[in-house]
Structure 1
């Protein structure tokens, strides 16, 4: 920006603050600067909107993932809490989208967890519980960060829209002054 007074800084995750245009003259010295300043502001708005869109997608993914992690963690905790000499547990499990099979579960000391990319690993129950708890905590923390970032990005978009309007209105005022003088 042409002689911008404010120094831009970032939020906790590196998203820059939008400049607040208090005095248009700090950003635009002549009417020739108006078009380039408006274009830069529009580019910044587009960048914020892109960041907002990708953050929303990430939050949606986390909203889908968290209940699955919680359900898996609860299942592991249930299996860990069962006595070794308890009666076998009859259950159904999914083989495919529409295909289920019945199973009897007796003493369990390990579980198999999907890690992604078609990879499944065996974990002892305490280790599986620890892993799932840490994954759940990380996903919830990431979701909170996404929600904070979405609020922050909406504020920055609004700030940039106000800045754009101020520069545009300043330009209109300058044109009126020039018409009045001639």
Structure 2
């Protein structure tokens, strides 16, 4: 049994177990009576890996859509903060110096023009999801968005790594399935050649 790696004897950093690697079928299946159960077990594991793969793919798609939105929001917060800090450094007495004209996107095809004064950039409102919006001081908003972006990028990297790992495990199990099946075919031919399969064949014919 030393040449066989059993499922559960290892995992990736997210705890996804390694699939069993069948190097020598004779060490893994001791008789033909164990073949059916072994193949069924492999198929169940393949189904579980495929289910995890589907969920990970869905999460990957969501992160790839989410990350650009976070990046765009963070860039805007940095821009507003830079303008505010620049105006503070200029120490201008003219209120017009701190005005910013911009267009707000109301939907995909509709924009509204607005003028933002320096005092309006001390805090920003951020969507947190589930129809929740909170006001943050602009410095806190930048910190929060930076951390959120870093976490999302790490999650995406982990998902992509998990997808590759899952595909490797599925391939390993498909190879293991083929090896056990081929071993069973060879053993069946051997048994038939040695006359061990005669009674079984007669029984099948009678049925």
TM norm structure 2? 0.83
Q: 1-side partners of 2:152 and 2:75: how far apart?
A: 16
Q: Does 1:59 align with 2:60?
A: yes
1:47-81 CA deviation, whole Å, 9 max, x = no partner? 11111111111011000000000000000000000
Deviation at 1:5, TM superposition (A): 4.8
User: Aligned to 1:150, which of 142, 157, 163?
Assistant: 163
Three-state SS of the structure 2 residue aligned to 1:93 is: strand
Is contact 2:4–2:22 with CA below 8 Å preserved after alignment? no
Provide the residue aligned with 2:144 in structure 1: 131
What residue in structure 2 maps to residue 170 of structure 1? 183
CA shift, 1:101, in A, is 1.3
Mind listing any 5+ residue stretches in structure 2 that lack a counterpart? 196-207
- Residue 124 of structure 1 deviates from its aligned partner by 0.5
RMSD of aligned C-alpha atoms? 1.8
The 2-side partners of 1:6 and 1:62 are apart by: 34
Matched, 1:32 2:33: yes
**What residue in structure 1 maps to residue 51 of structure 2?**
50
Kindly state the Cα deviation for residue 4 of structure 1 after the two structures are TM-superposed.
9.4
- Which of 99, 114, 139 is the aligned partner of 1:88? 99
**8 Å Cα contact 2:42/2:173 also seen in 1:** yes
1 or 2, which has the higher helix percentage?
2
C-alpha deviation, 1:94, in angstroms:
2.2
Per-residue deviation, 1:10: 1.1
Work out which of the two has the higher radius of gyration on C-alpha atoms and give 1 or 2: 2
* Distance in 2 between residues matched to 1:96 and 1:12, nearest whole Å: 41
Scaled by the length of structure 1, the TM-score of the pair is 0.94
Inter-CA distance 124–71: structure 2 relative to 1 (3 Å threshold)? same
**Structure 1 residues 117 and 4: alpha-carbon distance in aligned structure 2, compared to 1, 3 A threshold:** farther
Residue segments in structure 1 that go unaligned for 5+ positions in a row: none
Which structure 1 residue ranges, 4+ long, deviate > 4 Å from structure 2? 2-5
Q: Tell me the secondary structure at the aligned position of residue 19 of structure 1.
A: coil
